[in-house]
Amino acid sequence: MLTQKIKDKTVTVAVLGLGHVGYPMSTLFGKNGFQTIGYDINTQRLNDIKQGKVLLELTSILPTDEQEKQKALAEIKKNVQLSNSEEDLKNADVYVVDVPTPLKENETPNLVFLTNTCKAISMCLKKGNLVVVESTIYPGATEEIVKPILEESGLEAGKDFYLSFSPERIDPGNKKWSLELIPKIVGGINKESVDVACLLFSKIVAKVVPASSLQVAEATKMVENLFRSVNIALINDLSKFFEKMGIDTWETIAAASTKPFGFMPHYPGPGVGGHCIPKDPFYLLYKARKMGMNLEFVEEAAAVNKNMPLYVVHLIEDTLKMQNKSLRGSSFAVLGVTYKKDVLDLRRTPAKTVITELCKFSKDVVTFDPMTTESYGAKTGKTLEETIKNKDCIVLLADHAYFKENNLEDKINKLSPNCCVVDTRNFVDETKLKASILCRCLGKPVKSGQ
Amino acid sequence: MLTQKIKDKTVTVAVLGLGHVGYPMSTLFGKNGFQTIGYDINTQRLNDIKQGKVLLELTSILPTDEQEKQKALAEIKKNVQLSNSEEDLKNADVYVVDVPTPLKENETPNLVFLTNTCKAISMCLKKGNLVVVESTIYPGATEEIVKPILEESGLEAGKDFYLSFSPERIDPGNKKWSLELIPKIVGGINKESVDVACLLFSKIVAKVVPASSLQVAEATKMVENLFRSVNIALINDLSKFFEKMGIDTWETIAAASTKPFGFMPHYPGPGVGGHCIPKDPFYLLYKARKMGMNLEFVEEAAAVNKNMPLYVVHLIEDTLKMQNKSLRGSSFAVLGVTYKKDVLDLRRTPAKTVITELCKFSKDVVTFDPMTTESYGAKTGKTLEETIKNKDCIVLLADHAYFKENNLEDKINKLSPNCCVVDTRNFVDETKLKASILCRCLGKPVKSGQ
C-alpha cells in the first residue's frame, strides 16, 4: 500500500518537468532519501543539471557549509535518476507534475505541456499510484483537464489512484524561505488523496496544510499571486503619479512601511516577470470569462504591469531629451536582463520589451547580465566595462548584487562621464555619480537644477 | 521659544475637530500633561464627550485597570478644556487640525471644514506657533490650500510659524496598535517645522518618523489607504467569482495566509466604510486628474468596493428566490449598521445603501445595532429578539461581538425558524442553525442540497 511505502521511503517518486520548480523539488525528494526519477523532455536542461550548471537554483535547499553541501549532493546524485525516457516513468509510484503552464499569444492558457505530461503519466499509471499537480492552473482545471486524461488509463481518479493538487510556492532567490520551510497546501479529489499527498510532502517540507477540495488549493495559489499582481500594479501606477508630483515613491514606501499593521510594501519596477505574476491573472481571467464573469479590476492590474516596460522606454526618451538627445541614434547599455535580481530566470522578463523597443531606434544597444548572455537581438557585452563604455544612456533593469560588488557608479564615472542613467530599481547611488551625469530613477522626481 | 516650551510641557495645544481622531488625540495630549484645548463647533459632540457617552473611542489609550483608568481620566479632565469658542484658541501655541475631509456629491474633495478651520487659526496665529494638519488630504494640499489661508494672518509659513503635515493613522477598534504605539510620520514645510513637530509628537507617541517634505507625508497616507482599498477590492471581486465557482473564499484566504512571505489577508465584506478607505482614492484621483493623469486602476478598485452593497442586495434577492420569495413583500432584519465590528462609526457605512435599497421593496425592514439607533429610514428594533422575530430574511452586515455574546444562532432558530440568513462577514455559525433555515454567506458557495 502506498501509505506504508511512503512511511518506509520505499516509494519511487517521478518529478515531471525539471524547471525552476521541478528541479529543486526532485532534489528535495532525493535529499530526503526517496528514489526519485527526474524527468524532462529537454535534453539540454538535463545536461545543464548533470553538469552542475544550474546549481544556483538549489541555493535555498543545499547546506551552506561546503562539506555538508558535498555530502548532500552525493546523496542527491545517488537517489535522483535523470531521464528523458517515458519508459523510466513506469517504475514510479508517485507522479509529481511541475511542467510550465504558460500563455498562448492571445493571453489564454497554454496547457499543452500539462496535457502531454498527463498523457505520458496515463500510459504508466497503476492502481494505488498518486498523481500530484504542482503547476499553477486555474481553479477547476485539475478536475476538468487533468483527471479525464489520467482516466484514459482505464483507472478511476479517487478510487483506483489518488489525485492531488498542491501548488508550488517557491520564491526564487529567497534565502529565508526555502522550499523546505514554506507550508504546502494540499488539495485532493477526495479525503484519501489529500491524506496520502499530505503524508508524502510531510516527509520533505516542514508543514502541510490540507485543503477541503482541489479547487480551494487551486484558488489559493491564484489569491496569492493576484495579491502580488495587484499590489505591484498599484505601486507602479502611483510611482508614475508621484514622479510627476515631485514625490519620491521609494521614500514614501519606506515611510508607509513604518505602519505596524495593515500595510505591506511593494516596489515599482520595469514590469513583472518570471513564470507566475505576469501570467496567473490571465489564467483566472480565462476561467472567469468562460463563466460569463468580468474581473475588470484584475484585468486592469495586469494591464498596468504589462505596460511598465514601455513606460521605462518613455522614461529613457524623456531623460535623453533633457540632454538634447533622442532615442534615435543614441547608444545604450542595458544592465540586467533576467526578470529580477540574482536569479537566472528569463521568463517574461521585462528586459525583452525594453531591449526590443530600444533596438527599433538604435543599432548601438549592448546588454550585460552576469547571469545570462541572452540579449534579445541586441549585442551582448563581454564585460561590464566594455558594455558601459562611451554610452549615451545606461539603463539598469535588474539590480544584481554583481553591479554593487563591481562599483558600478565608479565605472560609469570613468567610462561614460557624459551619459545619462535610468535606474528602474532605486539601485544606483546618485551621490556617487559625477555631477555631469544625469540620473533618473523610476518613481522619483527629477532633481531640481537638472 | 516653542522648542523649550514643548520640552517643559508649558506649551498649550489646541486640537481642532474632536471626531474619531481629534478626540483621542486631544485626550492623549491631556493624559501626557499638556494644557490642551479641545475645540469643536459641534456642541452636541462636545456634550457627548463631556457626559462620557463616547468613552469607547478612547478604549485603546485608557488603562484597562479601573483605578488607573480613573486616575488617567482625572488627569485628562484637568488638562483638557473643551470649547466651541474661537476666543479660546488664541491661547494656543500649537494647532493640531483633525477635521473631516469628506467628499462632495460628485466625489471631489470637500475641504470646507479644513479651510474654515485654517481661517479660524489664521485669526489667532502668532509668531513661533506650530500648525500641524492630521486630516487626510491629497499630496500638495497643505502647501496649496492650508498655507495660503494661514498666511492671511500676515505671518509667513516656515519663517514666522512652523507648518507640518502628520497623517493620522488611528485604527478604530484596534486594541493591539493604540494611538500611542503607532509610529507617526512627520512632514514639514522646512526642516525646522519637521523638527519641532517631531519633538512635540515624541512626547505623546512611541516613535516619530521624519519625512523629507510635506508631500511625502501626505503621499504616505495615500499609499497606506490605497493599499487597503485595492486589496479589499481584489478579494471582493474574487469572492463573487469563487462563490460562483463553488469555492469557499474564506477557506482560500486562510490557506493563502499560511504563506509566510509576500501575502497579507484581506476579507470580503458588504463594502468599505469609515472616513478613510471609501474616500481617500477619490482625493488622489482628484489631484491626478487635475494633473492630467488617469489612475484607472485606483478608480476601478474604488468602484468595485462601492458596488458591494448592491451586490449584497443581489445576494439577498437570490437567497430569497431559493425559498420562492422575492424582495418585494418580504420582511427583513438588518443586524449591524455601523461600518465595522464594535465601532460607533457610521460614516460611509455600507449599511446605508443596503437598507435604503431594501426599503424600496419592503415596508418591513427593521435594523438592530447595539452601537447605534440609526436606521436610515427603516424601523429600529428595540431588542435583538424583537428585530429578528418572524422575518423572511436576516441580514448580517457588521459582526459585532454583541451578536455572538447573545447567541444569535439560537435566537434565530427560536424566533424565525423558516427565514433565510445572509451573512456578509462569515460570522454566523451555520452548523448551529436549524436545517429549515437557508444560510448564505458572501464569498461561499451555496451548499449542495439547498
Q: Which fold has domain A213-450?
A: Rossmann fold (3.40.50)
Cell 504558460 appears where? A102
Kindly list the strands in the beta sheet with B130-133, ordered across the sheet, starting from the edge strand earlier in the chain.
B80-83, B35-39, B12-16, B94-97, B130-133, B162-165, B184-188, B208-210
Q: Which of B302, B171, B173, B296 has the alpha carbon at shortest distance from B236? A: B302
Nearest chain A alpha carbon to B255: A220
- Asked if residues B331 and B381 have their Cβ atoms less than 8 Å apart, the reply is no
Ranges of H-type helices in B323-407:
350-361, 384-388, 401-405
Distances B313 to A244, B232, B270, B447 between C-alpha atoms, Å: 41, 19, 9, 20
Cβ contacts of B297 on chain A, cutoff 8 Å: 233-234, 237, 297, 300-301, 304
**Containing H/E element for B57?**
none
Class (C level, CATH) for B221-305: mainly alpha
- What DSSP letter does each residue of B383-425 carry, written as one string? SHHHHHTT-SEEEE-S--HHHHHTTHHHHHHHH-TT-EEEESS
SS3 A193: helix
Give dist(CA A26, CA A311) in Å, integer: 39
Nearest residue to A395 (alpha-carbon basis) of A429, A353, A436, A354: A354
CA-wise closest residue to A408 among A56, A418, A435, A395 = A395
Element (H, E) at B274: none
Min Cα–Cα distance to chain B from A403, Å: 26
Distance CA A390, CA A396 (A): 16
From B215, which residue of chain A is nearest by alpha-carbon distance? A247
Name the minimum distance, in Å, from the CA of B308 to any CA of chain A. 14
- Whether A24 contacts A170, CB under 8 Å: yes
A217 touches chain B (CB under 8 A): yes
Q: Which residues of B135-170 are buried (b: 16+ CB within 10 A; e: fewer)?
A: bbbbbbbbbebbbebbbebebebeebbbbbbbbbbb
Count residue pairs from A and B with Cβ separation < 8 A: 181
SS (H, E, C) A392-437: CEEEECCCCHHHHHCCHHHHHHHHCCCCEEEECCCCCCHHHCCCCC
CB B441 within 8 A of CB B270: no
Please tell me the predicted confidence (pLDDT) of residue B448. 57
d(CA A356, CA A334): 11
**Buried (b) or exposed (e) across B75-89, using 16+ Cβ within 10 A?**
ebeebbbbbeeeebb
Burial readout B242-269 (b: 16 or more C-beta within 10 A, e: otherwise): bbebebbbbbbbebbbbbeebbeebbbb
Nearest one of B129, B314, B185 to A263, comparing CA atoms: B185
Cross-chain CB nearest to B297 (options A252, A255, A301): A301
CATH class of residue range B2-212: alpha beta
Identify the CA nearest to A278 among candidates A338, A225, A224.
A225
Q: Would you say B98 and B168 are in contact if contact means Cβ atoms under 8 Å apart?
A: yes
B31 contacts B113 by C-beta, under 8 angstroms: no
Indicate yes or no: CB of A247 within 8 angstroms of CB of B215: yes
Q: Do B209 and A253 touch (CB under 8 A)?
A: no
pLDDT (tens digit per residue) in A53-81: 988 888 878 888 999 999 999 999 999 99
Please report the DSSP string for A150-172 in residue order.
Answer: HGGGS--BTTTBEEEE------T
* Active-site residue flag, A439: no
A2-212 and A213-450: same fold? yes
Residue-wise pLDDT for A348-398, tens only, equals 999 999 999 999 999 999 999 999 999 999 999 999 999 999 999 999 999
Whether residue A161 contacts residue A128, with contact meaning beta carbons closer than 8 Å, is answered with: yes
DSSP 8-state code for residue B180: T
Give me the residues of chain A with pLDDT under 70, please. 448-450
Cα distance from B235 to chain A (closest Cα, Å)? 8
Pick the CATH number of B307-441 from 3.40.50.720, 3.30.420.40, 3.10.20.30, 3.40.50.700: 3.40.50.720
Gap between the Cα atoms of B203 and B7, Å rounded: 8
Question: Residue A448 has what pLDDT?
Answer: 57
Cβ–Cβ gap B241/A301 under 8 Å: no
B235, B260, B301 ranked by CB distance to A177: nearest: B260
Residue ranges of chain B whose pLDDT lies below 50: 450
- What is the CA A258 to chain-centroid distance, rounded? 28
B185 DSSP 8-state letter = E
Signed CA dihedral, B409, B412, B418, B419: sign only: negative
Q: Which of B212, B224, B230 sits opposite A259 (nearest CB)?
A: B224
Q: Cell triple for residue A347? A: 521568463
Choose from B165, B185, B234 for mutation: most chain A CBs within 10 A. B234
Q: What is the DSSP letter of B212?
A: S
Q: Looking at the complex, does the CB of residue B251 fall below 8 Å from at least one CB of chain A? A: yes
Q: Which amino acid is at A309?
A: P
Task: Please identify which residue in the block is written with the cell numbers 432584519.
Answer: B333
Contact A264 B264 (CB under 8 A): yes
Cell of A99: 511542467
Q: Which of B349, B11, B367 is nearest to B172 (CA)?
A: B349
Amino acid identity of residue A329, one-letter, is: G
Give B-chain residues touching A263 at CB under 8 angstroms.
223-224, 227
Residue of B nearest to A211 (CA): B255
Are β-strands B12-16 and A365-368 bridged in parallel, bridged antiparallel, or unpaired?
Answer: unpaired
The domain segmentation of chain B, as residue ranges, is: 2-212, 221-305, 307-441
Q: Report residue B128 as a C-alpha cell.
A: 513661533
Q: How many CB atoms lie within 10 A of CB B434?
A: 14
Task: Tell me the chain B residues in contact with residue A174 when contact means C-beta distances shorter than 8 Å.
Answer: 261
- Strands B332-335 vs B94-97: parallel, antiparallel or unpaired: unpaired
CA distance A305 to A276: 13
Asked whether the beta carbons of B193 and B142 are under 8 A apart, the reply is no
Grid coordinates representing A59? 541555493
Cβ atoms of residues A404 and A423 within 8 Å: no
Backbone angles phi, psi at A305, to 5 degrees: -65, -40
A209, A215, A297 ranked by CB distance to B237: nearest = A297
First to last CA, chain B: 73
3-state secondary structure of A179: coil
Cα(A194)–Cα(A196) distance, rounded to whole angstroms?
A: 6
Backbone angle region of A435, left / alpha / beta, with phi > 0 → left and psi within -120 to 50 → alpha: alpha
Nearest CA in chain A to B298: A234
**CA separation for the pair A135, A283 (Å, rounded):** 12
Residue with cell 459641534: B42
Residues 143-182 (A) with a CB less than 8 A from some CB of B: 169, 171, 174, 176-177, 181-182
- What's the N-to-C CA distance of chain A in angstroms? 73
Residues of B marked active site are found at 276
Amino acid at B46: L
Contacts of A247 in chain B (CB under 8 A): 139, 213, 215-216, 219
What is the spatial distance between Cα B412 and Cα A184, in angstroms, rounded to a whole number?
Answer: 39
Per-window interface: B 254-283 vs A, CB < 8 A: 255-256, 258-264
User: Is the CA virtual torsion A209, A214, A215, A220 positive or negative?
Assistant: positive
- Given an 8 Å threshold on Cβ–Cβ distance, is B260 in contact with A216? no
Tell whether B210 lies on the interface with A, counting CB pairs under 8 A: no
Residue position matching grid coordinates 427560536? B414
ipTM score: 0.94
Catalytic residue (choose from A118, A124, A198, A276): A276
